[in-house]
Amino acid sequence: MGGAAAVQESDVILELKDVAMYFGKVAALAGASLRVRRGEIHSVIGPNGAGKTVMMNCISGLYRPQKGEIHFKGERVNDVRPYERAVRGMSRTFQKVEVFGGMTVLDNIRLGRHIHLKSGILSGSIYAGKTAREEIENRQFIEEEIIDLLEIEHIRHKPVGMLPYGLQKRVELGRALALKPDLLILDEPLAGLNLEETEDMARFVLDVNEDPRWNITCLLVEHDMGVVMDLSHRVFVLNFGNMIMDGTPQEVQNNPEVIKAYLGEEDLYATRR
Amino acid sequence: MDLILMTLATGIMVGGIYALVALGWVLIYKCSGVLNLAMGEMTLIGAYVSLSFYSMGIPFLASLLIMLVIGFILGILVERIFLDRLIGEPVLTVIMVTVGLSFFFKGTLEFIWGTDTRVFSPPVFSIEPIRFGPIIIGSVYLWSFMAAIILLVVFVCFFKYTRWGLAMQATADDEMAALSLGVSARYVYAAAWAIAFMAAGVGGTLLGNINGLNISVAYLGLLVLPVVVLGGLNSVPGAILGGVIIGVLQNFCGAYLDQFFPGGVKEIAPFAFMAVFLLWKPYGIWGWERIERV
């Protein structure tokens, strides 16, 4: 935990201060504090029901925590609605894929792009100057960056509902990337994927984080310890709504409390590999 | 033979109006999952509003435009005041609220405009019928049909080609995902009600021009139910096709069955048809079939 105090303010893209969320009397999240630094992959781990998804929903605005403050890019966003948070540069994927099943892959991704379109009905109908330029830029961005990156060229015109689960997850990631976010929240991107798909997905996450053209800060919720420890710069451990620790993967793996609460027996690190 | 053709033509044209109202209904259902049973009264409100302005001597098109503005505002108000706080409540609760709304609307309308039949006077459309060879059609039917078609095209283009339409499709498909992409579900719901109110109002105005205006127009408005059941509750093309089919069915029953069962065959037939159709194809022609995968 020692490193967190030394973090410079300007580096922090997302900060949670003592955020708590209750459902009735059950504390799903009992005062979590977290600082995510720009450019890092910050993972959140914990057993099932630890409050990880609740935490993500608080951050993206689907839930409103009863207590605590959430700061995004230095501004308090507690009262900012979810769709406005998306406009400010926060995008997410869901644990249970939420794609527009009736639309094609391309339409799903294009929809993620819509908040960046500036042209109105008038200029849109004339299709000149700014609008045309905007259209071409967006098309290039979608075709060249996202579709190429995710290797979904061959399925771009297929309705997403028809695709296998692994590809749906990929489309969901593509749609989240289309927002060109500063912070990408990934809620169990690997759940339900096979080994090969897991490797691909891990590579995509690493790509968008490290490639200077994207340089997206990632907040990753994941159960696959192998991937978490390999990808993350920092790991945040949650149990029954309480923070156990926040540190580098190395520190987390060596922390006896974490091992007791979550990792279980000493060599559980290897179980999911 | 001429009678068949004429009944068919009239049916199609009235069906166009039903399709318009049904489209509004489908929009609300698609976006927010609300089964709106107050649609009939919404058609009636629109009809009375345009009739009132028309009676003041304002030209028909202008009163229609004013009605659209008022319908827009009313739609947003209804959504904000009644439906907004019901998001996430059980379906039955929401349905009961729309039933309550329909009584409320009906009572208010009778209070303001009374129960007598009113007509657009002077008539908006010429009484002179139009002849296509052997087929004779009242000009009011033809004009109403054309107006309905134009509006249907406008609606469909709106869904397909505008950003708002896209936002509505997205919200209908998956609300959570739409929120995460910067679409405001609240605005979408309000917009759906506003558009539905406007569509119902235009439909009501046209129906009022055909038969005069009294509370029974609300029952015509309620015909959206068999229409959407036929087409599929969440299908836009289904609403259009369903509207036309119900219009035709109704007119044929009126023309051929009324002599055997005098009285209200015309009113009952669509609902009887709906009951039978539900047994055979519960999802409608183009509705989403919800299949549970185990």
What are the structural domains, with CATH classification, of chain A? 2-89+181-270 (3.40.50.300), 99-164 (no CATH)
Q: Which residues does residue A12 pair with via DSSP β-bridges, in sequence order?
A: A37
Range with the poorest average pLDDT among A139-143, A193-197, B186-190, B240-244: A139-143
What pLDDT, on a 0 to 100 scale, did the predictor assign at position B62? 95
B180–A98 CB contact, under 8 Å: yes
Q: Nearest chain B residue to A118 by CA: give it.
A: B163
Instruction: Test A112 with B181 for CB contact under 8 angstroms.
Output: yes
Q: For chain A, what is the mean pLDDT?
A: 85
Q: What is the pLDDT of residue B242?
A: 92
CATH number of the domain located at residue range(s) B2-280 in this protein:
1.10.3470
β-bridge mates for residue A92, sequence order: A185
Beta bridge partners of A35: A15
CA distance A250 to A134: 45
Check CB contact of B207 with chain A, cutoff 8 Å: no
Partner A contacted by B173 (CB < 8 A): yes
Share of chain B above pLDDT 70, in %: 98
Task: Give residue-wise pLDDT tens across range B55-74.
Answer: 999 999 999 999 999 999 99
Helix (H, G, I), strand (E, B) or coil at A185: strand
Sheet holding A234-239, edge to edge: A90-93, A183-187, A217-221, A41-45, A234-239, A242-247
From the list A62, A84, A111, which residue is nearest B176 (CB)? A62
Dihedral, CA atoms, B260, B266, B268, B269, nearest 10 degrees? 80
Band the pLDDT of A142: cuts 50, 70, 90: confident
Q: Which amino acid is at A189?
A: P
How confident is the model over B193-206, as a mean pLDDT? Answer: 93
Nearest C-alpha neighbor of A135 from the set A104, A110, A152? A110
pLDDT surpasses 50 at A170 = yes
Q: Which residue has the higher pLDDT, A70 or A117?
A: A70
Q: What is the mean pLDDT of residues B230-247?
A: 88
Given the structure tokens 């691909």, which residue do they identify?
A200
Considering only A14-18, A135-139, A162-166, which range has the smallest mean pLDDT? A135-139
pLDDT range class, residue A8, cuts 50, 70, 90: low
User: Out of B162, B170, B176, whose CB is closest to A111?
Assistant: B170
Task: Give the pLDDT confidence of A88-113 residue by residue, as tens digits.
Answer: 999 999 988 888 888 889 888 888 88
- Nearest by CB: B184 against A83, A101, A117: A83
Q: How far is A147 from chain B (nearest CA, A)?
A: 18
| Cβ pair A101:B179 closer than 8 A | no
Q: Which sequence spans correspond to the domains of chain B? A: 2-280
pLDDT for res A119: 60
User: How many pairs of residues across A and B have Cβ atoms under 8 Å apart?
Assistant: 62
pLDDT at residue A118, as a whole number: 65
Chain A contact set for B180 (CB, 8 A): 60, 82, 86, 91-92, 94, 98, 176
A-chain residue closest to B184, CA distance: A83
Give B136's pLDDT tier (boundaries 50, 70, 90): confident
- pLDDT tens digit string along A40-53? 999 999 888 888 99
| ipTM given for this complex | 0.72
**Per-residue DSSP letters for B133-182?**
TTEEE-HHHHHHHHHHHHHHHHHHHHHHHSHHHHHHHHHHH-HHHHHHTT
How does pLDDT run across B8-42, given as a tens digit for each residue? 998 999 999 999 999 899 989 888 888 899 999 99
Report, as an integer, the average pLDDT of A182-201. Answer: 92
